[in-house]
Structure 1
């Protein structure tokens, strides 16, 4: 236990003494090491906004993507990315519950993907592939969460895992230990030792990851056309060739011009406004067979709505202020595949109704189905999309401050 305490102390010191740019690199890191609740809680400060989403977080290719755009060292806030592909509302509910008590500004952003809201929803295998049992245990161990909410999360977790064999049994063992308090003394002691060693492993992995954030790492991941000045600040030349300024010092209008120029350079081969690399890999010579295939599709009935409500209930219970972001579909592609326009609009309206019923803030971007370069492919935020998201997020951060 002394070794674990020592490693934890060293990790605390490493995080505390990160340079601003190194810290930004770690905030936007989506590696396994970053999934540690212990590390996430260390990175959350009064100036850090918890930013939850799915594959759009790791789909980095635009200079306007937060993982690149906000790495300028000049802004007065941080975004802490949590999530990756196939992570949806319930896993984020677990993340949030595990972090309750460690969110100084009591704010969170959740990016909603329309593709989450299908009737088929997540298969047990898909959920198991993203389920973080360490996060689940951190939720159960969190004294800030009441037992009613812990049991509600546990019931839903078992339902999503289905008959996932060993993983489901591991979850049941945690339930017996923390919820039912009927684990044998030997099991309880064994698990506490196991938890301690897992914490040691997590801390070791995190420290190893931190070794990557050195001066050399600052040469990577620069926005297109960007450079770093003597202070490590990313600078971009605004449209018109003016003197380079820190990226976040650009006006929204200039950011949109920058985004349009970059989008135009990356979309030259198709009429769906899909970036050339994605089109070549996934669509060229293949998409014709998909014409009209979604004529009966709908996003109106899905278990995801109950999972989203669970997330919002947790926010209300623990006084966390959420910002929901409603992302549009690619209008050109959805028209081609036959997904009904009325059904798409009904989905957007349902999200608006949920936000209104829960009295939470919504950044509604649904009007941008046909905005060129808003998405980078058939589903992920792109050049202009991120500018609109960042504008809304910056306002959310600074309101009432």
Structure 2
């Protein structure tokens, strides 16, 4: 029996109207969507949510306000303890709140697109970048991890704003084309190939990129203000364990005491819960398991150079933090101390030779008691030392003089420099 037109309209009418309403909002969004509330921004600052990282509105509004300090990094930022930067900033009423830009699995290339998307809001300001040695493996960031955090919005924004591509832009296009989820967008793929090959985009391509960016931007304005998780309450809770007045000596003593209490069930100074869940069940199989690990030869060095180039072009001052690896643990797994020292030498050369002067390299604090919370993540004493360097950086008003050497640091020779065949 055929359904009458009236019944059909009654059945599907509401759905059609809903689709048209959503489409209308995406094409002509309300201006009210441009103003995330202060509560939304505060909750987003510690959320490390994927929609916040891949979007623009919330994080860019936060940075533009001057009340938030961007912290780029990965899994170390998610481990909130009493001495975490967000806890210290709240407890001692500092003039900034950390905005945590990263998550377990984010690496330089994700941060490049994020930084570029907020470059206008960051001009003349400061950021913190935690550079994990573990990113610098043979193949760099994996297809899976890059895909998970990949932002079409930020990619189309970069293309839409691109005027005359330089070597950094060409390399970024080449790098993006290596990822399946990027290359699957045929129109984007064609534009990236032209940028890579130093060919000018056609007028229609530029218009298409601008339209796509605007649609994605409207979508971000509509959906990015939903913060599905936040660490804000946990951060506030942790402030109760700190002295009421900021005192470095007291904090160091408390951090040491906390570390002692928290690592009582193992010989590696690893947090008890982490050891019990992640190490103990497979401890024997992990002995000497990292002998062949190498963080010296990697495309990650070139990806990192792209981040440096955006800083330089937009007068953004950065403090780079290089965490150590827990020595008690690396001795057990056979992770080469010489290799870690070489990584430190190489990354410092890349940063400092171009004029970036603010580097807090903790590589050689690997033996310091309770510096690390587990195998590779900064912990109690480490966060206190981190904070001391951070306060120096924020107080220093001198701007570095940058001279980019992207021709060198984007090259395969540099990616493989200090490796076994080219070891000095």
TM-score, shorter chain, exceeding 0.5: yes
Q: Structure 1 167/252 Cα, relative in aligned 2: closer, same or farther at 3 Å? A: farther
3-state SS of paired residue (2:122): coil
- 1:56 corresponds to which residue? 76
- The alignment yields a C-alpha RMSD, in angstroms, of 3.1
1:204 correspondence with 2:219: no
Contact 2:176–2:182 under 8 Å retained in 1: no
- 1:69 corresponds to which residue? 88
1:396 correspondence with 2:393: yes
Query: Where in structure 2 are the equivalents of 1:29-44 lying within 5 Å?
Result: 29-35=47-53, 36-44=55-63
Contact 2:84–2:383 under 8 Å retained in 1: yes
Q: Structure 1 8/354 Cα, relative in aligned 2: closer, same or farther at 3 Å? A: farther
3-state SS of paired residue (1:292): coil
Shift of residue 85, structure 1, vs aligned partner: 1.6
Query: Where in structure 2 are the equivalents of 1:313-324 lying within 5 Å?
Result: 313-324=309-320
Measure, in 2, the Cα distance between the counterparts of 1:114 and 1:356. Answer: 17
3-state SS of paired residue (1:322): strand
Shift of residue 183, structure 1, vs aligned partner: 7.6
Measure, in 2, the Cα distance between the counterparts of 1:168 and 1:96. Answer: 23
- 1:242 corresponds to which residue? none
Measure, in 1, the Cα distance between the counterparts of 2:247 and 2:105. Answer: 33
TM-score scaled to structure 2, two decimals? 0.77
Shift of residue 176, structure 1, vs aligned partner: 8.0
Q: Structure 1 31/170 Cα, relative in aligned 2: closer, same or farther at 3 Å? A: farther
- 1:115 corresponds to which residue? 134
Structure 1 residues without counterparts, runs of 5 or longer: 227-235, 239-244
Contact 1:263–1:373 under 8 Å retained in 2: yes
Query: Where in structure 2 are the equivalents of 1:94-173 lying within 5 Å?
Result: 94-142=113-161, 146-148=164-166, 149-159=168-178, 161=179, 163-164=180-181, 167=184, 169=186, 171-172=188-189
Q: Structure 1 309/43 Cα, relative in aligned 2: closer, same or farther at 3 Å? A: same
Shift of residue 47, structure 1, vs aligned partner: 4.5
How many residues align? The count is 369
After superposition, give the CA deviation of every residue in 1:198-238 in whole Å (9 maximum; x if it has no partner): 3333223233339x89xxx9654434461xxxxxxxxx552
After superposition, give the CA deviation of every residue in 1:8-55 in whole Å (9 maximum; x if it has no partner): 63244444xx26xx7543322211332212322211133432221011
Contact 2:74–2:103 under 8 Å retained in 1: yes
After superposition, give the CA deviation of every residue in 1:60-98 in whole Å (9 maximum; x if it has no partner): 3x1111233323471112322211122111221222222
- 1:10 corresponds to which residue? 32
- 1:230 corresponds to which residue? none
* Structure 1 stretches of 4+ moved >6 Å: 176-179
Larger Rg: 2
Q: Structure 1 75/342 Cα, relative in aligned 2: closer, same or farther at 3 Å? A: same
Shift of residue 262, structure 1, vs aligned partner: 2.3
- 1:354 corresponds to which residue? 350
Structure 2 residues without counterparts, runs of 5 or longer: 1-22, 399-424
